[in-house]
C-alpha cells in the first residue's frame, strides 16, 4: 500500500483531556441512540388505548358487588319459603325460647279471662256462702276480704297451668308438627293468599292460637278447673311481625323467589366478566374480592340496624323480647349467608395475592412446587413413574387448573345454601387438587433431575404485560 493511500496523521498526539472529552461525547451519543431505539420499539409495540376495558371492568365489578347482598337475601328467602326442613329448623327453637313462651302464656291467659269473669264468680261465691251460713258481720267481712286472694289465686293457677303446657315437651313437639303445616301457609301469606294459622293483615304477620287455646281448655278441665268449659272457641292471634312495609315485602317476595337460584349465578358471571375485561386481571380479581367483602359488611350492618328499627316500631301490646327472638331466629340463616360471602371475598383476595409477583407469593408457590417435586420423586422411587400421565398434565397444566377451579366454583353455585363450611371445605379441596396437579406437572422423574418444575409458571403473565412505571 502506498503512502498516498493512507490517511494523513495528525501533527501531534491528542492530550488526555481531549481523549476524555471524546470518550464522553461518544458515550453520550450511544446513550441517545439506545434511548431512541427503545422509544421506537415501545411506540411500535404499544397496544391501542384500552381505557374502555378498564371502565367496563370497573362497571361490571361494581354491579356484581352491588348484586351480591341481594343474592344472599334472595337465597335466604327462597330457602325459608321452599324448604320445609329449613323453615322448621328456623321456627322450632322458638317453642323453647323463654321470651316466646312467656308471651304465648300471657296472650292465652288474657284471652281466657276475656270470657271468664273471675271477680264476678268470686263475689257470687262469697255472697252465697254468707247467705247460707247466716254469718255475723265480722265473719262476713273476713269472708269478703278473701275475695281478692281467691281471685288472684284462680288467675295464678290458670296462668301456671297454661305455662306448664306451653313449656312442656309436648307443646314443643306440637309446635314443630304444626309448623310443618304452617310452612305452606307462610307461602300463601307472602303470596297474598291468607288462609291457615299464619296470615298477613294490617301490616302484621300473625299466628292463630285457636288450636293452642283449645288444648289449654281441655287441660284445665282435666285438672278439675271445670269453669274453663265456659271458654268458647275463639280465633286468637299473636303478632309475629309488624311493619309498614309488609305489602312491599310481599311484592318483593315474588321477584326474589324467582331470582333465588339464578341471581347468584348471574352475579358471579358479571363479576368474572369484569375480571376478564380488565387489563390487569389479577388486580381486578383482588378488587372483586374486596368489593364482595365490603358489600357483605354493609348488609350485616343493615341487618343489625333493621333489627333496632323493627323492635322500636313494635306496638305496646307486642312482647319486645319475644319479637327479638323471632327476628333473630329468622335472621340466623341470613347471617350464615353473609358470613359465607365474607369468606368468599377473603378467598378471592388471597387467591389474587398469592398468584401475584410479590416475594411472599413467589415464596409460597416455590414451597408448593418443591413439595410437589418431592412427592413426585417419592412416587418415582416406588415405581409409580406414570410418564404418560405426567407428560399430558405437564403439557396441559394451565388448562387443567382452570377446569378444576371452574368446577369448584360451579359446585358452590349449584348448592342451594352457600354456608361457611361449604366455602372453607371447597377451598381446601381445590387447593389439594391443585397440589396434585402440580405433582404430575413437576417433571421430576429421577434423582438426578432438578427440583425445578418443568412447566412454565404463567401466573404473572398479566402483571408482566402491564406497563411498569418509571422509577
Claim to verify: residue 239 and residue 93 sit in the same structural domain: yes
CA distance 244 to 314: 11
Cα distances from 116 to residues 43, 123, 208, 231, 235, in angstroms, run 96, 13, 20, 7, 16
Interatomic CA distance for residues 85 and 417, integer angstroms: 13
* H-helix or E-strand spanning residue 156: helix 147-166
142-146, 156-160, 193-197, 296-300 — which is least confidently predicted?
A: 193-197
Q: What is the pLDDT of residue 236?
A: 59
Share of the chain above pLDDT 90, in %: 17
Please check whether residue 295 is in contact with residue 96, taking contact to mean a CB–CB distance below 8 angstroms: no
- In this predicted structure, the answer to whether residue 64 has a pLDDT above a threshold of 90 is yes
Kindly state whether residue 431 falls inside one of the protein's structural domains: yes
d(CA 74, CA 331): 13
Cβ 165 vs Cβ 108: under 8 Å: no
For residue 296, pLDDT over 90 is answered with yes
| Closest C-alpha to 401, from 453, 359, 342, 464 | 453
Least confident of 101-105, 295-299, 304-308, 401-405: 101-105
* Domain assignment present for 191: yes
Q: Which of 214, 246, 278 represents a domain boundary (last residue)? A: 246
User: Closest by alpha carbon to 100, among 187, 254, 209?
Assistant: 209
For residue 187, tell me if it sits in a domain.
Answer: yes
Q: Which residue has the higher pLDDT, 368 or 16?
A: 368
Report the number of distinct structural domains present in the chain. 2
242 and 122 in one domain? yes
Whole-number pLDDT of residue 455: 43
Minimum mean pLDDT range among 58-72, 214-228, 354-368, 440-454: 440-454
Q: From CA 192, how far away is CA 446, in angstroms rounded?
A: 72
- pLDDT for 139: 62
pLDDT at 11: 57
Q: Are residues 217 and 362 in the same domain?
A: no
Residue 21 included in any domain: no
Task: Give pLDDT, residue 305.
Answer: 92
Checking if the pLDDT of 394 tops 60, the result is yes
247 has a pLDDT exceeding 80 = no
Report pLDDT for 131.
64
Residue with cell 255472697: 127
Q: Measured between alpha carbons, how far is 40 from 407 in angstroms, rounded to an integer?
A: 45
Question: In this structure, is residue 328 part of a structural domain?
Answer: no
Arithmetic mean of pLDDT over the chain: 76
Residues 241 and 369 in one domain: no
Q: Are residues 95 and 236 in the same domain?
A: yes
The domain containing residue 169 runs over which residues? 84-246
Q: Are residues 242 and 372 in the same domain?
A: no
Mean pLDDT, rounded, for 429-442: 89
Query: Which domain-ending residue is among 220, 246, 272?
Result: 246
Q: What is the mean pLDDT of residues 328-332?
A: 88
User: Is 136 a member of any domain?
Assistant: yes
For 110-139, write each residue's pLDDT tens digit.
777 776 766 676 776 666 666 666 666 666
Choice among 61-65, 292-296, 354-358 with the minimum mean pLDDT:
354-358
Q: Check whether 163 has a pLDDT greater than 70.
A: yes
Residue 465 has pLDDT above 50, yes or no: no
In a domain, 52, yes or no: no
Which residue shows C-alpha cell 319475644? Answer: 322
pLDDT band with cut points at 50, 70 and 90 for residue 78: confident
Of 246, 261, 285, which one is at a domain's C-terminal end?
246
CA–CA gap between residue 201 and residue 246 (Å, rounded): 9
| 170 within a domain of the structure (yes/no) | yes
Between these two residues, 178 and 280, which has the higher pLDDT value?
280
| Residue 240 backbone dihedrals phi, psi, to 5 degrees | -90, -35
Average the pLDDT over 210-227 and give the result. 66
Predicted pLDDT of residue 186:
64
Rounded to an integer, the average pLDDT of 191-205 is: 55
Nearest 5°: phi and psi at 199?
-145, 165
Amino acid at each position: 500500500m502506498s503512502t498516498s493511500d493512507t490517511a494523513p496523521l495528525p501533527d501531534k498526539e491528542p492530550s488526555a483531556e481531549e481523549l476524555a472529552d471524546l470518550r464522553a461525547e461518544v458515550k453520550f451519543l450511544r446513550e441517545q441512540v439506545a434511548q431512541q431505539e427503545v422509544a421506537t420499539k415501545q411506540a411500535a409495540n404499544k397496544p391501542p388505548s384500552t381505557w374502555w376495558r378498564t371502565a367496563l371492568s370497573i362497571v361490571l365489578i361494581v354491579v356484581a358487588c352491588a348484586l351480591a347482598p341481594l343474592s344472599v337475601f334472595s337465597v335466604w328467602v327462597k330457602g325459608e319459603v321452599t324448604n320445609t326442613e329449613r323453615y322448621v329448623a328456623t321456627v322450632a327453637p322458638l317453642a323453647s325460647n323463654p321470651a316466646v313462651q312467656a308471651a304465648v302464656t300471657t296472650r292465652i291467659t288474657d284471652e281466657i279471662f276475656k270470657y271468664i269473669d273471675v271477680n264476678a264468680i268470686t263475689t257470687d261465691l262469697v255472697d252465697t256462702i254468707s247467705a247460707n251460713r247466716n254469718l255475723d258481720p265480722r265473719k262476713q267481712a273476713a269472708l269478703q276480704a278473701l275475695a281478692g286472694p281467691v281471685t288472684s289465686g284462680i288467675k295464678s293457677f290458670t296462668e301456671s297451668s297454661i305455662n306448664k303446657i306451653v313449656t312442656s315437651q309436648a307443646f314443643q313437639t306440637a309446635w314443630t308438627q304444626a309448623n310443618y303445616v304452617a310452612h305452606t301457609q307462610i307461602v300463601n301469606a307472602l303470596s297474598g293468599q291468607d288462609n291457615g294459622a299464619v296470615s298477613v293483615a294490617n301490616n302484621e304477620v300473625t299466628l292463630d292460637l285457636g288450636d293452642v287455646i283449645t288444648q289449654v281448655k281441655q287441660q284445665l278441665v282435666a285438672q278439675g278447673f271445670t269453669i274453663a268449659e265456659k271458654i268458647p272457641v275463639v280465633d286468637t292471634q299473636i303478632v309475629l311481625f309488624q311493619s309498614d312495609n309488609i305489602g312491599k315485602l310481599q311484592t318483593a317476595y315474588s321477584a326474589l323467589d324467582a331470582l333465588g337460584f339464578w341471581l347468584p349465578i348471574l352475579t358471579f358471571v358479571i363479576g368474572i366478566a369484569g375480571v376478564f375485561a380488565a387489563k390487569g386481571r389479577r388486580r381486578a380479581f383482588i378488587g372483586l374480592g374486596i368489593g364482595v367483602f365490603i358489600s357483605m359488611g354493609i348488609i350485616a350492618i343493615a341487618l343489625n340496624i333493621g333489627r333496632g328499627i323493627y323492635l322500636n316500631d313494635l306496638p305496646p301490646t307486642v312482647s319486645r323480647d319475644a319479637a327479638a327472638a323471632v327476628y333473630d331466629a329468622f335472621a340466623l340463616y341470613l347471617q350464615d349467608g353473609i358470613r359465607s360471602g365474607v369468606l368468599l371475598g377473603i378467598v378471592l383476595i388471597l387467591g389474587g395475592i398469592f398468584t401475584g409477583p410479590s416475594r411472599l407469593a413467589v415464596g409460597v408457590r416455590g414451597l408448593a412446587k418443591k413439595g410437589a417435586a418431592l412427592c413426585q420423586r417419592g412416587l418415582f422411587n416406588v415405581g409409580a413413574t406414570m410418564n404418560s400421565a405426567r407428560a399430558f398434565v405437564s403439557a396441559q397444566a394451565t388448562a387443567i387448573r382452570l377446569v378444576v377451579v371452574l368446577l369448584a366454583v360451579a359446585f358452590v353455585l349449584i348448592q342451594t345454601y352457600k354456608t361457611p363450611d361449604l366455602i372453607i371445605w371447597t377451598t381446601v379441596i381445590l387447593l389439594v387438587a391443585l397440589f396434585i396437579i402440580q405433582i404430575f406437572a413437576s417433571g421430576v422423574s429421577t434423582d438426578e433431575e432438578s427440583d425445578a418444575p418443568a412447566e412454565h409458571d404463567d401466573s404473572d403473565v398479566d402483571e408482566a404485560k402491564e406497563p411498569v412505571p418509571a422509577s
